[in-house]
Amino acid sequence: MPVPAVPAVPAAPVRTVPRRLPVRLLLALLCCVALVPTWSAPAQAAFPTRNQWLADVDAAMYGSKVYLQRQVDAGGPGLAVNLDIDNTSLASHYDYGQPVGRVQRFAAFARSRGVVLLFDTGRVKGGGRLLRAMRQLREAGYDVGEICGRTSSAETLTHSKQRCRQHFVDEGYQIVANVGNRSTDFVGGNYRRGFRLPSYDNQLA
């Protein structure tokens, strides 16, 4: 007697259960993502307008003529003013090669009182660079008494500025005013009073 066929039972659908990452591993991965550094270009402060710079120069030089006249009235041999060149005596950023008006007028006032103009620059000696600087200054209306620069590109500005002022003092000058625009122009001594023009965190050379 034939055996009756047993009806086939449909197979149950296979369900795939997603594997869960261990909690510790998941936290570690999140920490790694959080620690990946993101880079962005450093923000550079924008320079002020030319008019704002000139206004800041005027503010820095306020009272300079009155002060100098008092030094002249007090008398003494070898009175001199020491001036930086770039962005102090001559504009380099805004009006390249042109005299900085307020400083040039101060320098002219000093000469009218018999005070010698000494120039102390970060420009390097050699290759006629200081001769060109002297020519630029004279064309801009400065009566150059003497100019001193760095001995080489290896000499730091701080060392150069102090060395040049010491050189002027050794020659017999009394530096009654020191005019510059960077912090390196005022490190050390050998001057009575400094007038610091704006450099906007030493961004102006």
Specify the pTM: 0.77
Residue 173 near residue 191, CB atoms below 8 Å = no
pLDDT, tens only, 141-186:
999 999 999 999 999 999 999 999 999 999 999 999 999 999 999 9
Bridge partner list, 116: 80
pLDDT, tens only, 34-43:
343 333 334 4
Q: What is the CA radius of gyration of the chain?
A: 35
Answer yes or no: is pLDDT of 2 > 80.
Answer: no
Question: What CA–CA distance (Å, rounded) separates 94 from 97?
Answer: 9
Q: What domains lie within the chain, and their CATH numbers?
A: 51-196 (3.40.50.1000)
183: helix, coil or strand? helix
pLDDT, tens only, 90-134:
999 998 899 999 999 999 999 999 999 999 999 999 999 999 999
Question: What is the model's pLDDT at position 29?
Answer: 47
Q: Count CB-CB contacts under 10 A for residue 191.
A: 22
Question: What CA–CA distance (Å, rounded) separates 67 from 63?
Answer: 6
Written as six digits, the tokens of 76 are 């003494």
Helical ranges in the chain per DSSP H: 23-35, 50-60, 64-74, 101-112, 129-139, 157-170
pLDDT, tens only, 55-102:
999 999 999 999 999 999 999 999 999 999 999 999 999 988 999 999
